[in-house]
Amino acid sequence: MAKPRSLELPAGAQLVYIAEGGANIIYRIVSPPNSRMGTKLGSCVPSSKDHQTVPAEFKGKLLRLRKDTPAGVSYQEIARNFDKNIRPLFRPEELVDQELIYLPKGLVQRCNEQLRAAELTGNRPKQRRGLFLSVTEPFGLLVTDMTHLGNPGADVAELKPKWLLQSPSAPSGARRCRTCALRDMKNHDSRRVGAIETRSFCPLDLVSDKFEHVLRATRFVKGQKDHIRLARVLHRNSTLLKLLAHQRSLRDVGNYGPSPYSRDKSLAMTLRDCTMYIKIPRNESGRVEIRLGDLDLKTAGGGKAQYWLDLEHRLITDGWYVGARGDSHPCECALQCSLPQSPPSM
């Protein structure tokens, strides 16, 4: 049986840089004015222009390209893992979709030239400089566009749900969930070197039955100023509850469960590090769209397995779960907030 033909990016497409992370760069696909796709070599342009249009076949899509990282996983393997392990867990409309697409010859090299030029002019983020796209990766990934640029008339909020239930290896009497304990520890390390601390929501609040707890969490979510409306969207949200159910079914994490190199452990950790994108139309009668992304299957290679174990060990032995460190700042953790408060001393 013949394999289905892969999509191909037209040779005349231009790519507009949108953003980048540690392992990938995101571009918008546009066509130059008064030109036909396929009549010229593809290229990268530094910023979007009003007269540039998105070709009809790529509306609602962005292009993700892979950087040349030491532990880089091919896009074919990423797509295969996504299709096999992630798609069966959610409905299509709950996922930031991804689809392999062939890249025109020389396109990546031209994108790298544009990145080098952006570094010279100071237009590339400092922390991303020096690392460029892989010239041996023949594919890009078409992904669902959940950005503000692709959704005029809507606000797009995003959050990391993280661990929606406590780590099974947390000590009894814990006053911090796994996420809040880790944040306390990282803030402690930041204070020691004079770096900026972070504050965020407790993931346990996101899946609480109580609306006021969800509202407490939304104060820390960027991209939506109306926290009450966002809380209404998230309260008992079916996608969020489905993510919780999958985390619960794959709860043998922390110091327990299968080998860190197993498929179940990889999937369990992937589901605890995804991103939720929430598109809320400013017109209240519009349909809210919620999708989960950043679901590349995590691997235990490159020292990651030992890192997971060492991190859990430190959270336990250094007292971060129980809030025993005297220099801990007031915590937003739902476990702490649910404890009875001591009356003030007379």
Domain architecture of the chain: domains with CATH: 7-145 (3.30.200.110), 155-331 (no CATH)
Give exposure, 133-153, as e/b (b: 16+ Cβ within 10 Å). Answer: bbeebbbbbbbbbbbeebbee
Instruction: For residue range 1-53, list pLDDT tens digits in order.
Output: 334 457 899 888 899 999 999 999 999 998 766 544 333 445 677 655 445 68
The distance of Cα 29 from the centroid of its chain, to the nearest Å, equals 21
**What is the per-residue pLDDT for 148?**
83
Helix/strand/coil for 298: coil
- Average pLDDT over every residue of 290-319: 89
Residue 210 has pLDDT above 80, yes or no: yes
Compute φ and ψ for 32, nearest 5 degrees. -65, 155
**What is the per-residue pLDDT for 264?**
87
The encoded tokens of residue 47 equal 């910023």
Share of the chain above pLDDT 70, in %: 87
**What is the per-residue pLDDT for 307?**
87
Candidate from 90-94, 149-153, 186-190, 258-262 with smallest mean pLDDT: 258-262
**What is the per-residue pLDDT for 237?**
98
Residue 343 has pLDDT above 70, yes or no: no
- Average pLDDT over every residue of 76-90: 96
Confidence of residue 188 (pLDDT cuts 50, 70, 90): very high
**What is the per-residue pLDDT for 34?**
54
**Is the Cβ–Cβ distance between 16 and 45 less than 8 Å?**
yes
More confident residue, 328 or 115: 115
Residue 219 has pLDDT above 80, yes or no: yes
